[in-house]
Homo-oligomer: A and B are copies of this chain.
Amino acid sequence: MRDELSRRAMLGLGAAALLSTRGGAQPGDGVGFAVVGLGKLSQGQILPAFRTCRSARLAALVSGHPEKAHRLAAEQKLPESAVYSYERFDRIAADPRIEAVYIVLPNFLHADYTIRALKAGKHVLCEKPMATSVADAERMVAAAKAANRKLMIAYRCQYEPLNLYGMRLMRRGALGRPRLVVTNMGRQSDLADPSDAWRLDMRMSGGGALADMGIYGINGARYLLNEEPVAVRAWAQTARRDPRFRSVEDLIAWEFRFPSGAISTGTTSFDQAGTMAWEVYGTRGKMVADPGCFYGGNRLAVSAGPGDGQPKIAEVDQFAREMDWMGDIVRGRAPMVSPGEEGLQDMRLIRAILESVARGGATVPTDFGYRRAVDPAKAVRA
């Protein structure tokens, strides 16, 4: 039998690296990025993605492994001076080549490095989840405000054509009134894989599968429905004898209630076949994205009338698109779509889910007053 669909399989699903031909950018005016953390995501996706960016360019690397950093710098044709250690990180303040910093570190390091980058006068693009606690996320939002710098959370799917297509179908009511969003985001985790080991540690990850994969479902339900949940309840199912789940929950099932009357049910697990799928049921139609949030190869099936079937949606390099968007924000050419506040909302929702789990599935209120300022369905070109 073939191995389970693994994170690697998802990574390998060949994001088409299309050269963007959109206008607006001038050659050479790309915003210089320092990439902080040179793990699997940076090496496999982010560094290669710069090749197709038009508003972002790779300017520096920050790593605790000098050998790896210098090797990658050479590959990327960066000068030796563009390599920073974590000890020398704050010196980026004096480096005019660096205008923005992309935080690709394990979750528990996001807050400190984001705040240090902001204090160094840099804009920050930070991977999701933005932190491992609500308090850290609040500090990050406050730091961006204090520094008068941009803080964008890397919600890949808010910039991804298939998800944008789905959002637009929802906005124009193509499925009728939305009733239900069902999300399943999970995979097999591997304690022996360094890029998974920290994800299986509560302190370092802030929530195991929920923080790593489930967050796509939480965020997805919110951007598909374009509203914020008012209550949640959740159950966990975790085999504590499995060494992977000593400190984090494994399978979590949750339900959010939304003011419109819609419900979203979400599940996530680090002990299941790899899946990133969402489904929407409306009064007049449904759509299924399975996979819906892979780096490539996503598929949407719509049953809602004349548009029935599987719409052909061009793929893009999702990381290039995110970095370009951040570059355009810095240059004043694009609105902020997924700011720190958007990430903070998910941190609060993750906390509410874990609180409900701890309280045996009790209903936990989630109306934190957050309202999305910019709808990606309207702001982001497909």
Chain A: residues with CB nearer than 8 A to chain B?
1-2, 4-5, 174-177, 179-180, 182, 184, 186, 188, 233, 235, 237, 239, 251, 253, 255, 257, 261-263, 265, 267, 269, 271-273, 275, 279, 281-286, 288, 290, 303-306, 308, 360-361, 363
Contact = CB atoms under 8 A, between A and B. Distances in A.
A273 B253 contact: no
Contacts of A284: 1, 4, 188, 273
Q: How many copies does the complex hold?
A: 2
A237 B253 contact: no
Interface of A is mostly: strand
A267 B178 CA distance: 14
Contact of A283 (B271, B279, B305): B271
14 contacts: A1-B306, A4-B176, A4-B284, A5-B303, A180-B253, A188-B283, A237-B257, A237-B261, A237-B262, A237-B263, A251-B261, A251-B263, A253-B255, A272-B281
A282 to B, nearest CB: 6
Contacts of A363: 360-361
A13 to B, nearest CB: 13
B175 A184 contact: no
B186 A281 contact: yes
